[in-house]
């Protein structure tokens, strides 16, 4: 259903390169990033992956597939198949895992403060990428 909504809006969204994506994250967000190579999924023009470090010793693993036909990149041993994003990118993270059919907090989050910080970090990453690709915030 999301794909149909995206096709119907007829957006002029920009697809970022891997280098542009890394620059935006490093320069426009107040977190430390460590990037690592990730496989480029089917339909993608590129991919960016790594870890982002924030307050409360919070660490989030993430992957971004770039392109309008990109598939999401799974993260972790029990990935949650949901991906955030919009027309020209998909962002996956280890915020949650699916274990025995249930979504649970990712294993890296030991405190409520880490969980809340991690959610905010992922939302900020998505927001910056939406502004860069769409010229406006991501629709909710």
Tokens for 4, please give them: 């149909």
Crossing angle of helices 112-134 and 18-28, rounded to 10°: 130
Tokens for 101, please give them: 């059919």
Strand partners, 66: 46, 89
Tokens for 20, please give them: 């542009």
DSSP state of 1: -
Give the model confidence (pLDDT) of 51-63 as tens digits.
Answer: 999 999 999 999 9
Give the model confidence (pLDDT) of 10-42 as tens digits.
Answer: 467 899 999 999 999 999 999 999 999 999 998
Average pLDDT, the chain: 86
Burial of 118 per CB tally in 10 Å (0-12, 13-18, 19+): buried
SS3 31: coil
Contacts of 136 (CB under 8 A, 6+ apart): 130
Give the model confidence (pLDDT) of 60-115 as tens digits.
Answer: 999 999 999 888 998 876 666 667 777 899 999 998 888 888 878 888 899 999 99
Cα 15 to Cα 33: distance, rounded to the nearest angstrom:
21
């Amino acid at each position: 259903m999301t794909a149909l909504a995206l096709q119907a809006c007829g957006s002029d969204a920009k697809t970022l390169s891997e280098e542009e994506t890394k620059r935006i994250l490093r320069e426009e967000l107040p977190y430390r990033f460590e990037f690592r190579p990730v496989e480029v999924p089917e339909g993608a023009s590129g991919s960016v992956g790594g870890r982002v470090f924030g307050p409360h010793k919070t660490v989030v693993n993430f992957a971004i597939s770039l392109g309008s036909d990109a598939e999401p990149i799974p993260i972790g041993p029990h990935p949650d198949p949901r991906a955030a994003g919009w027309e020209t990118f998909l962002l996956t993270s280890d915020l949650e895992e699916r274990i025995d059919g249930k979504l649970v907090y990712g294993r890296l989050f030991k405190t409520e403060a880490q969980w809340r910080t991690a959610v905010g970090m992922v939302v900020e990453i998505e927001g910056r990428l939406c502004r860069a690709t769409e010229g406006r915030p991501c629709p909710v």
